[in-house]
Amino acid sequence: MIRSMTGFARVERQYPFGRLSWELRSVNHRYLELGYRVPEEFRVLEPDIRRVLGEFLSRGKVDATLKFSQAAGAASSNLELNSDMARQLLSLHGEFQQLAGLEQTAEIQAFMRWPGVIEEQAPDPQPLHEAAMELLPKAAASLQAAREREGTQMDAAIRERLDSIEERVEQIRGWLPEIRDGLRQKLLARVADLQQPLEPGRLEQEVAFLAQKIDVDEELDRLAAHVHEARLALARDDPVGRRLDFLMQEFNRESNTLSSKSVDNRTTQAAVELKVSIEQMREQVQNIE
């Protein structure tokens, strides 16, 4: 089964601490290129995100976006009093009073503004991280399924073009005897118009030379072999985009040679139609993982 490199997936879930959602988008690319957009408290997960996505995908430019909405009433942080520092400040306040010979009530608000007296304790990020990494494989699997669905459509389109190429190859094979005979008759007609007789064996040499010049049996055989190899590739379970891309180059090479050797309008037209089918396949193959 082939897979497209284009797809989209979104998975979200509500937790006691809030809502987490993953959005994955992918487009075609020569290699696997991963991009992330995650809240700051999830930055430490980037190596794990790369590892998980790499287990599902092998090619494509993938953008992974994590969104986090904190639940109403959920504390984002806890404030705690640094009791030791508060005692020290109060003790210092008493010492100042003794030195100054004055009695003055301690201003609690002033003490609270003292750096380090009130400490902010961030909530434990571990539950958030675990939830995010639990949800990511589900999003990656959903993206892979979307790419497989599009790949199924691409598979059908490519197989249709392969059938067309195979039909053209067999059609040209059927024309070749008639084309060769027609060239021989044209050559005989030209010889008959000559005022001087040909040297013995010269006619056979010319016929053999022309037959060799227009011989496309090897090109047709290779095209048929490429069709067979492409069908085998489509049946594989592993990524075959690069293999098919190489086959498209080979298809083009043989169709160009076939066109250059053509001496008949039918084979010329068939070569053009072959190139059209190959180009249509190439456009599909560019997006295969």
Q: What pLDDT, on a 0 to 100 scale, did the predictor assign at position 176?
A: 82
Q: Structure pTM?
A: 0.72
Instruction: Round to whole Å and give the CA distance between 274 and 279.
Output: 9
Instruction: Round to whole Å and give the CA distance between 90 and 76.
Output: 30
More confident site: 195 or 56 = 56
Q: What pLDDT, on a 0 to 100 scale, did the predictor assign at position 195?
A: 59
Instruction: Round to whole Å and give the CA distance between 287 and 289.
Output: 7
The amino acid occupying position 146 is: A
Q: Which residue has the tokens 């790419």?
A: 147
Q: What pLDDT, on a 0 to 100 scale, did the predictor assign at position 85?
A: 80
Tell me: pLDDT of 52 over 70. yes
Instruction: Round to whole Å and give the CA distance between 92 and 96.
Output: 6
Banded pLDDT at 210 (limits 50, 70, 90): low
More confident site: 6 or 188 = 6
pLDDT tens-digit readout, 236-249:
989 999 999 999 99
Q: Which residues lie closer than 8 Å to 263 by C-beta, 6 or more apart?
A: 179, 183, 214
More confident site: 132 or 258 = 132
Average pLDDT, the chain: 85
Instruction: Round to whole Å and give the CA distance between 11 and 142.
Output: 8
Q: What pLDDT, on a 0 to 100 scale, did the predictor assign at position 197?
A: 62
Residue ranges of domains in the chain, CATH in brackets? 78-121 (no CATH), 149-285 (1.20.140)
Banded pLDDT at 189 (limits 50, 70, 90): low
Average the pLDDT over each of 74-78, 175-179, 266-270 and give the range with the smallest value. Answer: 74-78
